[in-house]
A and B are shown apart, each in its own frame.
Chain A
Amino acid sequence: MGELKLMKGNEALAEAAIRAGADGYFGYPITPQSEVIEYLMAEKPFDRTGMVVLQAESEVASINMLYGGGGSGKKVMTSSSSPGISLMQEGISYLAGGEVPCVIANVVRGGPGLGDIQPAQSDYFQSVKGGGHGDYRLPCLAPASVQEMSDFVPVAFDLAFKYRTPVLIIADGLIGQMMEKVELFDQMPRLTDQEVIEKYPWATTGKPKGKERRILTSLDLDPHKLEKHNQHLHAKYNEIKENEVRYELIDTDDADYLFVAYGSSARICQKSVKLAREKGIKVGLLRIISLWPFASDVIKEFTAKGIKGFLSVEMSMGQMVEDIQLAVQGKTKVDHFGRVGGVIHSPEEVVEALEQKIIGG
């Protein structure tokens, strides 16, 4: 068994970056995720593993540092919260276009605009429907515990390098700020420069004599070439859709109804499932782990099996619910419930919403 610790979600994310063998972290502080860079600065991974930690002058700088680091085949990461992630969107689009691997964590807070510093899940659209410009997708993992804040970091790096793409970890203020027991995984080695050269033939590791110049760019002024590039990206996204859908089923075997939720809402819904079942309502929980690619097929299967309704529970005015509606195609009841602006719904409110909107509605 690995080392057991009581940690904040943000601290677990930071420690996991070191242990996953990351080469660099570039970030800029913002509540509720400032503990990530605070922890890294205090922990001095430059002494432990040689990992670079740098406070950039802004979020725009840090995302472009990822372009440089990831482009040269290094494992690099940043984190921020909603307004900071908005600032990064241009860079994220370039990273997707240039197929540069990296990990970006968003500890979501209330919005729009500067919003507040309390937990929210209102960045779903931004995360899974683009955010930046152009035809691209981002694999997006949503941890629901401090343990997963740690566990998902190496998973995100694996996805990033397997598919040469930026990967999002999307948490929220609740997951970032709360403390839970976490079992830390053992230190993984950082790749040596030679290993990077051998492993990543696309990386800009210097031009050896007689070899072609490697260029990582999202710019192509020839429309036919750019069309080809888009088709290539699309084929890659289809492969990700095929292989990387992640979800968890909780008490769904005999369920008449399903909550669909991710992150902290999924934790709250687990309590709501217990409360509803005490009242005799057979409800289960489909916990979405990968926001993209989305578990559409699972929802289709439940619909075909005759589930009586889905309630999407999100700390937003209703974003993920649209993807559920797309999968259900009007064949059964779908509705949304969620508190917003940093207010966290209570487990009791969620049960009430199920009774009113799905069972009675």
Chain B
Amino acid sequence: MTEEIIIAGFGGQGVLSMGKILAYSGIMQEQEVSWMPSYGPEMRGGTANVTVIVSDERISSPTLTYYDTAIILNQQSMDKFEETVKPGGVLLYDPNGISKHPSRTDITIYKIEGAKIAADMGNTKIFNMVVLGAYLQIKPIVKLENVIKGLKKSLPERYHKLIPLNEDAITQGMKNVITT
């Protein structure tokens, strides 16, 4: 199994940390992982994206042209990455702020109202965990228990009290993802 993912959105949406938690979850179940961010003079509000690869084998290139899954969280990223999904692949997006919806017919497109669900839950910061939940519903490449283990590893101890909230957010994401 090799899953090649691009996660793209605005800086501050938790794009990079979503990728990091996914990568840590992979390590928890003894898989190979790589996490390659776009880095540069970017800042909050600018675009941010990260390539995450989870595999049973040694990972070759950490940067890619085509992906099994694209998780898209703003219009700029939609414009850039819709075309990069491999035929038969998956595009997951949050319609919030998207003016031009994806139109490809050779891939499966899923929607998650991540921003709305997070706001309803009273904490917009868990937006990325809702989206992660939606992704794991579509492609259960890592087990939920390993995501929780990954969270424990990647969060400083003082934030561990927030882990149940993150778990709820993932569950909400899993329940609310829909195919378009």
Q: Residues on A close to B: CB < 8 A? A: 4, 6, 32, 117-118, 173-174, 177-181, 264, 267-268, 270-274, 344, 346-348
Q: Given A178-B35, A179-B35, are A346 and B63 also a contact pair (CB < 8 Å)?
A: yes
B147 at the interface (CB under 8 A from A): no
Cβ contact of A180, chosen from B35, B41, B64, cutoff 8 A: B35
A178 with B62: CB separation less than 8 A: yes
Q: Are A267 and B60 in contact (CB under 8 A)?
A: yes
CB pair B34 A179 closer than 8 Å: yes
Contact B60 A180 (CB under 8 A): no
Chain B 153-170: CB-based contact to A (< 8 A → 1; otherwise 0): 110000000000000000
With a cutoff of 8 Å between Cβ atoms, the chain B residues found around residue A271 in the complex are: 60-61, 64
5 A-B pairs whose Cβ atoms sit less than 8 Å apart in the complex: A32-B39, A178-B35, A178-B37, A346-B65, A347-B61
Interface residue total, chain B, C-beta cutoff 8 A: 23
Contact partner of B64 among A4, A117, A118, A347, CB < 8 A? Answer: A347
Q: Name which residue of chain B comes closest to A346, CB basis.
A: B65
CB-based contact A174/B35 at 8 Å: no
| Given A6-B20, A6-B27, A178-B34, residue A268 in contact with residue B61 (CB < 8 A) | yes
Can you name 20 extra interface pairs (CB under 8 A) apart from A6-B153, A273-B60, A274-B60? A4-B27, A32-B39, A117-B39, A117-B40, A177-B37, A178-B37, A179-B34, A179-B35, A180-B33, A180-B35, A180-B59, A181-B33, A264-B62, A267-B61, A267-B62, A268-B61, A270-B60, A270-B61, A346-B63, A346-B64
**CB nearest to B31 among chain A residues:** A181
Q: Are B23 and A344 in contact (CB under 8 A)?
A: no
CB–CB A179/B63 < 8 A: no
CB distance from A349 to the nearest CB of B (A): 8
Asked if B32 is at the interface of the complex by the 8 Å CB criterion, the answer is: yes
Which among A178, A179, A267, A270 has the highest number of chain B CB atoms within 10 Å? A179
A117 to B40, CA, bound (A): 7
Q: Taking CB as reference atom, which chain B residue is nearest A179?
A: B35
CA distance A274 to B33 in the complex (A): 18
Question: Is the pair A174, B27 in contact by a Cβ cutoff of 8 Å?
Answer: no
Task: Output the residue of A6, A264, A271 with the most chain B CB within 10 A.
Answer: A6
Name the CB-closest residue of A to B62. Answer: A178
Q: Which residues of A contact B64 (CB under 8 A)?
A: 271, 346-347
Smallest CB gap from B21: residue in A: A6
Chain B residues, Cβ within 8 Å of A272: 61
Q: Is B127 an interface residue (CB 8 A)?
A: no
**Shortest beta-carbon distance, A272 to chain B, in Å?**
8
Contacts of B154 in A (CB 8 A): 6
> What is the CA–CA distance of A178 and B62 in the complex, to the nearest angstrom?
8
Q: Is B36 on the interface with A (CB-CB < 8 A)?
A: yes
Nearest Cβ on chain A to B153's Cβ, whole angstroms: 8
Judge whether A177 and B61 touch: CB under 8 Å: no
CB of A347 within 8 A of CB of B35, answer no
The 6 closest A-B pairs by CB, nearest first: A270-B60, A271-B61, A179-B35, A271-B60, A178-B36, A268-B61
- Expressed in whole angstroms, the minimum distance between the Cβ of B87 and any Cβ of chain A is 15
Q: A177-B36, A180-B34 are contacts. A6–B23 as well, Cβ < 8 Å?
A: yes
Judged by a CB distance under 8 angstroms, whether B24 is at the interface is yes
**Do residues A344 and B63 form an inter-chain contact, with CB atoms below 8 A?**
yes
A345 to chain B, nearest CB (A): 9
- What distance in Å separates the Cβ of B180 from its nearest Cβ neighbour in chain A? 29
How far apart are A315's CB and chain B's nearest CB, in angstroms? 11
**Complex alpha-carbon distance, A179 and B36, angstroms:** 6
Q: Which of B11-48 contact A (CB under 8 A)?
A: 20, 23-24, 26-27, 32-37, 39-41
Provide the bound-state CA to CA distance between A224 and B35, in Å: 55
Chain A min CB distance to B145 (Å): 17
Residues in B neighbouring A344, C-beta threshold 8 A:
63
Complex formed: what's the CA distance from A272 to B35 in Å? 19
For the complex, what is the distance from the CA of A118 to the CA of B26, rounded to whole Å? Answer: 27
Q: Is the CB of B23 within 8 A of A174?
A: no
How distant is B56 from chain A, measured CB to nearest CB, in Å? 13
Interface centre among B23, B37, B61, B64 (most CB of A within 10 A): B61
Find B27's partner among A181, A273, A346, A347 (CB 8 Å cutoff).
A181
